[in-house]
Amino acid sequence: MPEGLGRAIRETAGDIAALLRAAPGTSAPVPGSLWTVGEAAAHLALANELMADLVSGRERPYGDGTPGSLAAANARALAGFEERRAEPLATMITEQAGLFLDAVERAASHAAAENPPLVTPLGPMDPATLGSYLLTHMLGHGYDLARALDQRHMLDRDRVLLCMPFMLSVMPRVADPAATAGLTARYAVRLRSAAAFGVVLADGTVNVTPGPPDRPDCTILIDPVTFLLIALGRRAPWPAIARGRVVAWGRRPWLAPRFPTLFTAP
């Protein structure tokens, strides 16, 4: 996996566990969600277990990748898992993150030809991209838990940049067909103090490139943490634009506020 990803997974799981262990209880509501702290933590524990199984090569059907199917799979999983106490969930979150990393290390010891793509709820992935997915998922829900418990969140630039392999791989899959229909545009997205990537839309297709496209219509400069929070639906774009955390220029700069509406948060 990329340098630092394993450490970021362990540390993020540990940060979430510390939040839960210091909480006065798990019945508080999560802002912007129908879940309580206990339900969000249970979801994280189950999701980390799912990821550990997937990276071990065990197939675990979990929806078809659409938001509705994933929500339904989450509801079924929570209905069959009654634990809502902080300590057992904190332990499960960290243990399953560790099992995930152990499985990645075992897979890395085999020849690449022996490691077919892993089947995940959001399409086939290699272990590194799945690790990026795991980190992204924990950061999104860890942010929710921190808000619910009125504590500092654990997102930072370095962790967000480790999420980008997953984010770039999944963007075409989570593009909203209604929002992208009829749109022709060439975006360059630059994360502050990091590399840029490109998103080219034409004829209803979405193509994501590891570098900016030639002659972009709109270049967006954005703080990495702000990017991830907007991409995951945790923050609205307009307040970030008003605070100067998002800047746009180019031949069609008015396309910038439209960019986050083109995708459904994974």
Parse the chain into domains and list their residue ranges: 5-169, 175-262
pLDDT at 59: 83
124, 26 Cβ separation under 8 angstroms:
no
If you classify domain 5-169 with CATH, what class do you get? mainly alpha
What single-letter DSSP state applies at residue 110? S
Q: How many residues comprise the chain? A: 266
Cα–Cα nearest to 97, from 39, 2, 17: 17
Provide the terminal-to-terminal Cα distance of the chain, rounded to the nearest Å. 22
What pTM was estimated for this model as a whole?
Answer: 0.94
pLDDT at 241: 84
pLDDT at 245: 87
Identify the three-state secondary structure at position 188: strand
Quick check: 61 pLDDT over 60?
yes
* Topology classification of domain 175-262: Nonspecific Lipid-transfer Protein; Chain A (3.30.1050)
| 5-169 and 175-262 have identical folds | no
Least confident of 74-88, 113-127, 148-162, 228-242: 113-127
- Pick from 31-35, 91-95, 210-214 the range whose average pLDDT is largest: 91-95
pLDDT at 114: 61
Cα separation, 86 vs 114, in Å, equals 39
Quick check: 21 pLDDT over 80?
yes
Q: What percent of the chain has pLDDT over 70?
A: 98
Residues with Cβ within 8 Å of 163's Cβ and at least 6 positions away in sequence, in order, are 132, 135, 136, 139, 228
pLDDT at 203: 83
pLDDT at 48: 98
Cα separation, 76 vs 118, in Å, equals 23
